[in-house]
Structure 1
Amino acid sequence: MMMSVAVNQEEGDEEAAARGENPSRTCKLPAGGVVLLVLVGLLAAAVITYKLSFDKIRTNQTIQTLKEENEALRKNISDERCVKKRPEWEKYRGSLYYFSTNKSSWNDSRRSCADLGSDLVKIDSREEQMFLEIRVRDLMENDREKFWIGLTDSVEEGKWFWVDGSPLNKSLSFWLPWEPDDMKAENPAGEDCGGMGKKGGADDLICWYDQFCDLHRRSICEKPTNLSTTELHFFSKSNYYHPL
């Protein structure tokens, strides 16, 4: 019997050799092992897919960040070129100022500022008043060379407002001791527009005055530095002043 089994084994090996198989290496993988291999393959594919998706998202975020940084850089360069091309605009803190040497009425001065994408200056701090007072005194040829600022009481006498509609803070005002006096000797309409300037310098920055709005004076325009070079900026307008 054993000899018969051995003969059958030898015949089986010879048949396997004839088919090109190596009898010593032939084995059968259990079904559970096949399933495990499939699951491992699927898991590996899922990990690779997740990594690729994550890398794509991170790449898109990096590209968006680079675009934003590039846009900010382009804007800064554009603004700097604008200031360099227009040296008459002077920067102080968050604003640009234009000291106009053209003489015109208060309303016409506002129109001229609007044509430049700005408005008559609004003074928000003692430091800003100091900057303007020093610049104005240097530009004045004589004590009559005043400059219009964005201040008026044209709606109701004695109630002063800035060009953006905000009321004048009395604790942050720089009127000359006798101003505002609304003098009507030269014009019955009175003096409803504010200006500044004192040749030779002002004591404690006191150099504001009120005058007849149709007098021809120089003016100071102001606009924020964060405007694009092509944007035309108009400050918010209320009906407290005469419209442009």
Structure 2
Amino acid sequence: MSEADVVYSDVKFTKPRENAKRAVSSSAETTYSEVTFSKGQPSPELTASPHQAGSKVTPERVAVVVLSLLLAAALIALGFTFYEKSQTKESLQKMTIEHKALKRNITETRGQEKSCKPEQCTSPTVPTGESCLKCEPFWDQHGGKCYYFSAAASTWQWSRDLCRSKGADLVKIDSREEQVFLELKLRDEMNDPEDKFWIGLTDSEEEGTWFWTEGSPLNTSLTFWSLREPDNWNKIDPDGEDCVRMGEKAGAHDLKCWFDRSCKQDQRYICEKAAETGRPQCVFGSS
């Protein structure tokens, strides 16, 4: 320590007098003491213990933490976006493959079925033993069945009555291939997104328990409900939504285009019945 850093001070202490009558103290009764202080050294009383000093949160540290959280959130959002896009791309590729396979199957089926002109259907010259699937005019044939897509809209029950008057019933969907056929067909039939078609599925007997019109329960492993459906929305009809319509004008993701709706609302409908077989070998209608 340099001399400039030291401050010297003399302190004199006087020994108390033992006899008040003694007027003068001897030199032996005075004590001198030297005290030194280091210049610039803080007083011990003012120096805080390292354990008592609190940690300081600087603005720089706060900024680093905030930026780290934002970066983590951005990475998570990018991950979800990438996952959703990959799933959508995979679903679209799967649908494209299914659609191509369906169209190829329809083409092959038509190639195996001999068609003839309407006036030939009663002709006695049709070879004996030949048979085919036959649908009436304005009906579409697919997979051994005939389908009628109505032009007019009506309630679910009235739509079913109209189908039955034609020897049919509201359509029952038995396979994914049938759903592909109907979903593709309705893209062309629909005039707008809400122009959907009744199918023969209802839970009017017991809420949440779905049955087809011919009495069989819905196969839960073969359903095509749209997102968040069925929801039994009761804002329009207090009785809720007990009947099912289908269709997406722009195309349905993974064929999911079933929607529950109040049975009292008017929609177009799809009738279905078995195609006729036997002579003459005629196939009517567009398909």
| TM over 0.5, shorter chain | yes
SS at the partner of 1:114? helix
Shift of 1:87: 3.1
Shift of the 202–118 alpha-carbon distance from structure 1 to 2, 3 Å rule, reads same
Q: Name the structure 2 match of 1:146.
A: 196
Letter in 2 for 1:187: D
Instruction: Indicate whether 1:194 and 2:249 are aligned.
Output: no
Alignment counterpart, residue 100 of structure 1, candidates 150, 165, 178: 150
Letter in 1 for 2:264: D
Instruction: Indicate whether 1:183 and 2:233 are aligned.
Output: yes
Q: Name the structure 2 match of 1:126.
A: 176
Shift of the 228–122 alpha-carbon distance from structure 1 to 2, 3 Å rule, reads farther
Cα distance between partner residues in 2 of 1:155 and 1:121:
19
% identical aligned pairs: 51
Instruction: Indicate whether 1:110 and 2:145 are aligned.
Output: no
What pairs up with 1:147-166 in 2 under 5 angstroms? 147-166=197-216
User: For residues 196-234 of structure 1, what are the alpha-carbon distances to aligned partners after superposition, in whole Å with 9 as ceiling and x for unaligned?
Assistant: 0111100100100000001100000000114789xxxxx
Letter in 1 for 2:225: W
Letter in 2 for 1:121: V
Runs of 4+ in 1 over 6 A off after TM superposition: none
SS at the partner of 2:177? helix
How many residues align structurally?
153
Structure 2 unaligned blocks of 5 or more? 1-126, 280-287
Cα distance between partner residues in 2 of 1:222 and 1:166:
16
Shift of 1:104: 0.3
Cα distance between partner residues in 2 of 1:151 and 1:137:
20
Letter in 2 for 1:143: P
Shift of 1:180: 0.5
SS at the partner of 2:204? coil
Q: Name the structure 1 match of 2:37.
A: none
Q: Name the structure 2 match of 1:223.
A: 273
Structure 1 unaligned blocks of 5 or more? 1-68, 230-244
Letter in 1 for 2:163: C
SS at the partner of 1:171? coil
Cα distance between partner residues in 2 of 1:106 and 1:113:
11
User: For residues 131-164 of structure 1, what are the alpha-carbon distances to aligned partners after superposition, in whole Å with 9 as ceiling and x for unaligned?
Assistant: 0000011111100101000000000000000011
SS at the partner of 1:219? strand
Q: Quote the RMSD (CA, aligned, Å).
A: 1.9
Letter in 1 for 2:234: K
User: For residues 38-59 of structure 1, what are the alpha-carbon distances to aligned partners after superposition, in whole Å with 9 as ceiling and x for unaligned?
Assistant: xxxxxxxxxxxxxxxxxxxxxx
SS at the partner of 2:218? coil
Cα distance between partner residues in 1 of 2:243 and 2:221:
19
Alignment counterpart, residue 172 of structure 1, candidates 199, 204, 222: 222
